[in-house]
Structure 1
Amino acid sequence: MPERDAGQRAANVDVAANSSSALAHEAAAKAARGMAPEPVPPGFAAIDWSTPWFAQFAARGQRWQQAALTGYADLLAAMNADAALMQQTTGRGRRLAFIAQDDLPPGAAYEGHIASTGCVPTRHNLHDFFNGSMWFAFPRIKAALNGRQSAELDVLGVGPTRGGVRDMLTLFDENALLFACADPALSAALRGFDWQTLFVARRDAWGRGCEVRCFGHALLEKLIAPFKGCTGHAWIVDVPAEYFDWDTLARDAWLDEAVSTALLGTEALTSSLFAPLPVLGIPGWWPDNESPAFYDDATVFRAGRRKR
């Protein structure tokens, strides 16, 4: 088995290296013909690593950002260098690697390809940059999502609609927030759209009884230019009280294990498992929310199901 894993890892590294090499060769050929290099997609230079939603993976992210600003091949090379060190696996135990989007075979399902080969098709844009980042920030959750997605594809195939389970998994992957909470009253306030309790009356509980991690890569892309109505889908994670005595790495590892186990073990995955959470309302995440009046905006902090 170790030899087989080593062979798979080597195969993935070769595929990823070939993908990066092809891109680099193409760029060199254009330069030799006097053609200007392709412009860097917008947004990479605008990442503010001091914000709470990006700070959680700033150390790796800043290295990748510099690579992305240099070029597509450089970004893939940086991502694959980290993947080789981490020896992370995808939903079916394949070693993780990153390939150019154009190397996804025609007609192949994205999630199925990742599960069966370990290779994540990646574009030179912020969306896929943040997607790749989550494979390192929460590797077990990403593998669990990929495993459930590929299992659904095996049963239902690729059709005009995803189906309820795949819709929920996609929503998690794209827009989830992890709401870690040791106080049931705070979880109840979130589920009940009781923003005054969650954000004002119990404001001092944030950081001691609850906290949030951004997960969804589309949500992170939106937060390049934050706006008041930006809302994530919160997945509530009950944590022990001592969780808040641990350092950030220990907390993230605990969340990674607990959430991945839940995703693999929950048979009925539906969007009703989420609770909407306006991101800029999180205490300490946006200066304007220091004023209680910030939460009076009913177009953002809606009564929701609590009123109905």
Structure 2
Amino acid sequence: MSPDGASSPLASTRTGLPAINWLAPWFDAVAERGRGALAGADWREALSAQAAAAGQVSGRGRALRFVAPADLPADTAYEAYIAATGGVPTRANLHDFFNALIWLTYPRGKAALNARQADAIAADGVQATRGAARDAATLFDENAVLFVCSDPTLGEALRAFDWHTLCVARRADWGRACEVQPFGHALLEKLVAPYPSVTSHAWIMDAPHAYFGWTPLARRAWLDARIAPTLASGPLTTRAFAPLPVLGIPGWWPANDDPAYYLDSSVFRPGRRRTGGGRDGGRWAATVLRRA
């Protein structure tokens, strides 16, 4: 490891992955597993061993492991293969590396998503368009963060695009009444080289006040258990997400210590009103989905 917390140039070359600053706050949940996997000769094997030790399974209960992409038959859909065999085709790139780490961090949530996608493929086949629920599942898988709050007014501020209230006036409440836990692996991939406009799909979750006194591991286990039923069969829609620019999260980026940081309307948008009241995030979600 280099002094700034990134993987050393030697480790980066050996694994074929760019250097990663594991000290960045958005990597807190996956840093220990990620560093450990990259320390060995084959990070897929290392992560498979972690999955086996934890007894992790696919959406249809098959023992989970991370396999070479060539293992996926040409005539088999990716999610269907994972569900049926437990093998997650994993390329030697950041996107699939972080996908594997999220499988290890949120095993119930990822298995639930896998089961939902595999069931949809079994029922409808692989289609050019996925449908509303599968679109929302894909957004969750690729780009979601869990915005956890014990004070509902903080979730309301996020939905209302009220950046001043959320990130300036209520700044002291971050870490004791609200927090963000990343879930989307494509989001983590982007944050290897962060830039101000990186925007997540925030899934707002109510939590008891006691939540903020639990250990990070206990918090994530509780969140995993809470999201799994919804991801398996609950209502999912792209309009349920709220846009949250990740570098605006208090404590995650030095520049946002200055309240003026949140005045950049190209990043912290005011949102659009839609007929019937409320905010219209549908167009924003559709734009991100095309890139997923």
State if a TM-score over 0.5 links the two structures: yes
Task: Output the amino acid matched with 2:52.
Answer: A
Higher share of residues assigned helix: 1
Residue of 174, 177, 180 corresponding to 2:148: 180
Q: 1:250 aligns with which of 210, 218, 221?
A: 218
- Do the aligned residues in 1 keep the contact of 2:202 with 2:243 (CA within 8 Å)? yes
Mapped pair 1:129 → 2:97: yes
* Aligned with 2:22 (options 19, 39, 49): 49
State the partner residue of 1:84: 52
Q: Give the whole-Å Cα distance in 2 for the aligned partners of 1:40 and 1:298.
A: 41
State the secondary structure of the residue aligned to 1:94.
coil
- Residue 305, structure 1, aligned to residue 272, structure 2: yes
Aligned to 2:289: none
Q: Which amino acid aligns with 2:22?
A: W
3-state SS in 2 of match to 1:305: coil
Q: What CA distance in whole angstroms lies between the structure 2 residues aligned with 1:126 and 1:66?
A: 16
Q: Does 1:216 align with 2:184?
A: yes
Q: TM-score, normalized by length of structure 1?
A: 0.82
CA distance in 1, matches of 2:226, 2:133: 19
The yes-or-no answer on 1:296 pairing with 2:263 is yes
Whether contact under 8 Å (2:15, 2:38) holds in the other structure is no
Distance in 2 (CA, whole Å) between partners of 1:241 and 1:265 is 27
Point out where structure 2 has 5 or more consecutive residues left out of the alignment.
1-12, 274-278, 281-292
Aligned-pair Cα RMSD in Å: 1.5
- Greater shift in the superposed pair: 89-98 or 126-135: 89-98
Task: Give the Å deviation of 1:63.
Answer: 1.4
| Contact 2:15-2:43 at 8 Å conserved across structures | no
Partner residue of 2:200? 232
CA shift, 1:93, in A, is: 1.1
2:48 is aligned with 1:75: no
Distance 1:80 1:185 in 2: 41
Q: Mark the runs of 5 or more structure 1 residues left unpaired by the alignment.
A: 1-38
Shift of 1:262: 2.2
**Secondary structure at the counterpart of residue 236 of structure 1:** strand
- Deviations for 1:72-130, whole angstroms, at most 9, x for unmatched residues? xx122112211221110111111111110011011210000001111100001110000
Secondary structure of the residue aligned to 1:253 is: helix
Q: Report the counterpart of residue 269 of structure 1 in structure 2.
A: 236
User: Residue 180 of structure 1: SS of its match in structure 2?
Assistant: strand
Is 1:163 aligned to 2:163, yes or no? no
DSSP-derived class of the 1:276 partner: strand
1:284 equivalent to 2:257? Answer no
Maintained 8 Å contact 1:177/1:213: yes
Residues 142 and 186, structure 2, Cα contact 8 Å, conserved in 1:
yes
For the 8 Å contact 1:192–1:305, the answer to whether it is kept is no
Q: Percent identity?
A: 56
- Stretches (4+) displaced over 4 A: 39-42
> Which of 111, 120, 123 matches 1:152?
120
Which amino acid is 1:59 matched to? E
Which residue is 1:119 aligned to? 87
Inter-partner Cα distance in structure 2 for 1:235 and 1:296: 24
1:46 match: secondary structure: coil
Residue aligning to 2:111: 143
Equivalent position amino acid for 1:142 in 2? K
Residue 206 of structure 1: how far off its partner (Å)? 0.3
Contact 2:230–2:236, Cα closer than 8 Å, also in 1: no
Q: Is the 8 Å Cα contact of residues 143 and 185 (structure 2) preserved in structure 1?
A: yes
3-state DSSP of counterpart to 1:237: strand
What is the distance in 2 between the residues matched to 1:305 and 1:192?
10
Deviation at 1:45, TM superposition (A): 4.1
Which of 47, 72, 75 is the equivalent residue of 1:104? 72
Q: Does 1:64 align with 2:37?
A: yes
Cross-structure match for 2:7: none
Q: What is the aligned partner in structure 2 of residue 18 from structure 1?
A: none
TM-score, structure 2 as length reference: 0.87
Between 135-144 and 57-66, report the one with greater CA deviation.
57-66
**Cα contact 1:41–1:125 (8 A) shared by 2:** no
